[in-house]
């Protein structure tokens, strides 16, 4: 521990802030005051309220009695639909994140070639990411039509009898994942930018040493873009856990589809909160999801030290 005067100086310097510096600090706080008000009022306060509410039987209009951990106990011990919806969401995330990440990276690699007309290709591949919302779901309901939809027609050309995508509980989640793969253009853009930041002399010296294309990819490209991959994986994870719209729109009035296969966690929470008015229970569900996502993100962060290579320094 350094105890030289130099180390202590900054502390003293803080105390003796000149009037000017103090005023500037106050001005700074005033400037961000609206955002702070928003943070506390719109984000933090509702979060704390919901944390308290999860320990009550709150139903918005008639009661809010403290019931301790009853909601959580019921959720874990007594609610088969909780486990089912959690399974559905985990299945979706576990498949969606790796597939879309790999898909985006491969797509970016292909679109990084210097071929004439590459801009056109990049635009085409990026377009699906721009479309969003209910219209896209209805489009996909048409595409996934078991007898006349494009997907099954194309599978038919390859001799594979396509399944009833939205009626067969085994294939409903893969259908949604397929829908997400269609819009990998968004991630692709990120990777494209970072690929172009990889210094070409690394590739040149590797070629001189006789490295094959695959080894160049594995030992140069991947490590150099690994920070972006890490960012993409973490945000995909967090976003994936929030899936709701697909289940709500593509099933009959949000009931969760054939044999509850599209009953995602958020959809079940929505049904509990706004259909049955079990708001306290839904708040408990929300906090459980928060903890799960937090833990997974922390695991991600710790594991990242092993495979993310930061060019800037640090080990």
* Contact residues: other proteins, CB under 8 A: 23, 27, 30-31, 33-34, 37-38, 59-62, 74, 78, 80-81, 145-149, 164, 167-169, 255-256, 258-260, 263, 271-272, 274-277
Task: Determine whether 23 is exposed, middle or buried from the number of CB atoms within 10 Å of its CB (0-12, 13-18, 19+).
Answer: exposed
Considering the complex, what minimum distance in angstroms separates the CB of residue 239 from other proteins? Answer: 23
CA angle 28, 29, 31 (to 5 degrees): 65
What gap in Å lies between CA 108 and CA 190, rounded to an integer?
Answer: 8
SS3 25: helix
Could you tell me the smallest distance in angstroms from the CB atom of residue 52 to other proteins? 16
CA gap 97, 87 in Å, rounded: 15
- Report the C-alpha gap between 103 and 124 in whole angstroms: 15
Residue placing its CB nearer to other proteins in the complex, 98 or 275: 275
Task: Give whichever of 218 and 274 is closer to other proteins, judged by the CB atom.
Answer: 274
Distance CA 199, CA 237 (A): 29
* Least Å from the CB of residue 180 to other proteins: 22
* CB-nearer residue toward other proteins: 145 or 297: 145
d(CA 199, CA 283): 49
User: Which CB atom, from 79 or from 300, has the smaller least distance to other proteins?
Assistant: 79
Please choose, from the candidates 149, 147, 140, the residue with its C-alpha nearest in 3D space to the C-alpha of residue 174.
140
Computed from CA positions of residues 56, 88, 99, 117, in that sequence, does the dihedral angle turn out positive or negative? negative
With respect to other proteins, which residue has the nearer C-beta, 9 or 37? 37
Provide the minimum distance between the beta carbon of 128 and other proteins in the complex, in angstroms, as a whole number: 23
- Least CB distance to other proteins at residue 157 (A): 17
- The closest of 306, 109, 136 to 225, measured between CA atoms, is 109
Read off φ and ψ for residue 66, nearest 5 degrees. -70, 125
Q: Which is nearer to other proteins, 225 or 283 (CB)?
A: 283
Q: Based on CB atoms, which residue is closest to other proteins, 17 or 259?
A: 259
Question: Nearest 5 degrees, angle CA 211-CA 216-CA 220?
Answer: 130
How far apart are CB 25 and other proteins at their closest, in Å?
Answer: 12
Nearest-approach distance from CB 315 to other proteins, in angstroms:
43
For the bound state, the minimum distance from the C-beta of residue 26 to other proteins, rounded and expressed in Å, comes to 8
**CB closer to other proteins, 80 vs 117:** 80
CA–CA separation, 154 and 145 (whole Å): 12
Structure tokens, 96: 């969606």
| Burial status of residue 101 (CB atoms within 10 A of its CB: 0-12, 13-18, 19 or more) | middle
Q: Which is nearer to other proteins, 27 or 201 (CB)?
A: 27
Cβ at position 65, least distance to other proteins in Å: 14
Q: How many helices (H) and strands (E) does the chain have?
A: 16, 0
């Amino acid at each position: 521990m350094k105890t030289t005067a130099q180390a202590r100086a900054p502390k003293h310097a803080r105390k003796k802030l000149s009037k000017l510096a103090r005023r500037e600090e106050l001005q700074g706080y005033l400037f961000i005051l609206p955002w702070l008000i928003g943070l506390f009022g719109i984000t933090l306060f509702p979060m704390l309220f919901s944390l308290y509410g999860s320990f009550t039987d709150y139903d918005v209009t008639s009661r809010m009695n403290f019931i301790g951990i009853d909601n959580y106990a019921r959720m874990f011990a007594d609610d088969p639909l909780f486990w089912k919806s959690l399974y559905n969401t985990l299945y979706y995330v576990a498949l969606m994140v790796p597939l879309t990440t790999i898909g985006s990276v491969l797509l970016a690699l292909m679109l990084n070639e210097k071929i004439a007309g590459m801009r056109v290709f990049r635009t085409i591949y990026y377009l699906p990411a721009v479309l969003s919302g209910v219209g896209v779901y209805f489009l996909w309901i048409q595409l996934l039509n078991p007898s006349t939809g494009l997907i099954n027609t194309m599978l038919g050309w390859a001799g594979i009898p396509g399944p009833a995508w939205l009626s067969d509980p085994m294939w409903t989640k893969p259908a949604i994942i397929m829908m997400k793969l269609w819009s990998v253009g968004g991630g692709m853009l990120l990777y494209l930018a970072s690929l172009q930041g990889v210094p070409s002399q690394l590739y040149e010296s590797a070629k001189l040493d006789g490295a094959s294309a695959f080894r160049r990819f594995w030992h140069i490209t991947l490590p150099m873009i690994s920070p972006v991959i890490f960012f993409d994986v973490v945000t995909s994870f967090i976003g994936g856990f929030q899936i709701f719209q697909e289940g709500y729109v593509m099933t009959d009035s949000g009931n969760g589809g054939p044999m509850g296969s599209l009953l995602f966690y958020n959809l079940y929470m929505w049904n509990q909160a706004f259909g049955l008015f079990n708001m306290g229970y839904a708040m408990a569900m929300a906090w459980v999801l928060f903890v799960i996502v937090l833990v997974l993100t922390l695991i991600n962060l710790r594991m990242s030290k092993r495979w993310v290579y930061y060019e800037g320094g640090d080990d």
